[in-house]
Amino acid sequence: MIDCGLFQGLKELRLRNWQPLPVSAASISRVVLTHAHIDHTGYLPRLVRDGFAGPVHATTATADLLKIMLPDSGRLQEEDADFARRKGFSKHHPPLPLYTEQDANAALKHLSPSKYGQTLQLSKTMSGRFVSAGHILGSGFAVIDIAEKGAAPIKVVFSGDLGRYDQPILNDPSTIEVADYLLVESTYGDRIHPQTDPKEELAAIIKRTVERGGKIIIPAFALGRTQLLIYYLRELEDEGRIPVLPVSVDSPMGVDVTRLYSRHHEDHDANMETVEKLPRNPLATNNFSLVHGRAGSKGLDSQKGAAIIVSASGMATGGRVLHHLASYLPDPASAVILVGYQAMGTRGRRLQDGEKEIKIHGEWVPVNAQVESISSLSAHADSGEILRWLKGFKRPPRATYIVHGESGSTQALKEKIVKELGWNAVIPTQTELVELA
């Protein structure tokens, strides 16, 4: 089984998490995880609870990240079930979590970490390896070889999520030259990211806010966006383009993940390695704090003067960022910077759409702060970058399956691949069976 994620976002998708798998969990011999994001790993605790007993292959960084992320996901499932019980809207009586923190801890025991490039013996006829994908720390393409009698092995490549070129901290996506069958993601298959310089935009917003004496609140995903933001803020300070302000990372997971980002050198690009050699941390600014505990978090809101607070969740759907927003949205001198995709129905999207009041913890909060968006900070390749990666293959795969995208994105990417590369591109349907030969 390649990847084992949770459906996220719209309710009709999330309900799929409760449907039985098309095969029994016990019949699956191994799991291979391309990276730690919950939409690729979050079902694992349930799979183990339902009888999966084999090893789970992941890179060492992915395995380390999962030790933070899966128990957290279990806690969230338990909180959701609690909430449903209090509000009385669950169809389960009593409402049950999909899995618990304890289930997540049990699943972690199955992890089998490996280095990039290391050969994984998956069965008598199958072997695999991870090749760096540049999406988040530890992310890899899964390259699987299936031995054939009297013929060269069949090579199947799974992109997982494809990272971006020329971004700081992480390596660019590796080039892969050969695949007989390819599965490629298509999150942004219909889009090109804006070519604006995110540092330029950050600097301008920060300077304007400092002049007004306000606070800068940045809702950011703990894994990936938080580290990139800190890297850029440090560079801007070092280049004298913004004043040195107190910068606080306020999300329990963000703190732990930032430490892991510093530790895993195998994922670092040349820039990151150069600044790592300096006697200071590239993932910390000049007046920097990682906030521990709720008291420290609440204390941030009573500090005077301009400051930057980076806090999860990235779409303001929950987490500690909510009380910072409740404190500073009413303040016209302050600013909120949205740095990632804001899904429909989230508070982040409402702010982006210019709503004048939003509800936080049951109270209506007036939006007087400046709300800004920087969309060039995405971790996913856009359609141009996907094509750039595909052009690295020396010959067309026999079939390229376009996965992991909304229907508009998969369709747009399919048309591009057929038109620009002349490949056999296929949009598979759920549970479709395909014979490899």
CB 306 within 8 A of CB 215: yes
Query: Which two structure tokens, joined as six digits, stand for 227?
Result: 């580290």
Contacts of Zn ion in 55-114 (CB under 5 A): none
CA separation for the pair 115, 133 (Å, rounded): 13
Complex with Zn ion: residue 324 or 404, whichever CB lies closer = 404
Stretch that binds Zn ion, among 31-39, 49-57, 93-101, 349-357 (CB under 5 A): 31-39
Complex with Zn ion: residue 37 or 199, whichever CB lies closer = 37
CB 352 within 8 A of CB 372: no
Stretch that binds Zn ion, among 16-24, 154-162, 226-234, 385-393 (CB under 5 A): 154-162
Provide the strand spans (E) within 53-206.
Answer: 56-59, 111-114, 120-121, 126-132, 140-148, 151-158, 181-185
Complex with Zn ion: residue 97 or 340, whichever CB lies closer = 340
Considering the complex, what minimum distance in angstroms separates the CB of residue 188 from Zn ion?
Answer: 12
Considering the complex, what minimum distance in angstroms separates the CB of residue 156 from Zn ion?
Answer: 20
Stretch that binds Zn ion, among 153-161, 210-218, 274-282, 334-342 (CB under 5 A): 153-161
Complex with Zn ion: residue 159 or 209, whichever CB lies closer = 159
Contacts of Zn ion in 156-215 (CB under 5 A): 161
Complex with Zn ion: residue 158 or 328, whichever CB lies closer = 158
Considering the complex, what minimum distance in angstroms separates the CB of residue 406 from Zn ion?
Answer: 15
**Is residue 347 near Zn ion by the rule CB under 5 A?**
no
Considering the complex, what minimum distance in angstroms separates the CB of residue 240 from Zn ion?
Answer: 35
Concatenated DSSP letters of 193-262: ---S-HHHHHHHHHHHHHHHT-EEEEE--TTTHHHHHHHHHHHHHHTTSS----EEE--HHHHHHHHHHH
CB 221 within 8 A of CB 136: no
Binding-site size, Zn ion (CB under 5 A): 2
Rg (CA), the chain: 22
**Is residue 30 near Zn ion by the rule CB under 5 A?**
no
CB 90 within 8 A of CB 18: no
**Is residue 37 near Zn ion by the rule CB under 5 A?**
yes
Which residues of this protein are in contact with Zn ion, per CB under 5 A?
Answer: 37, 161
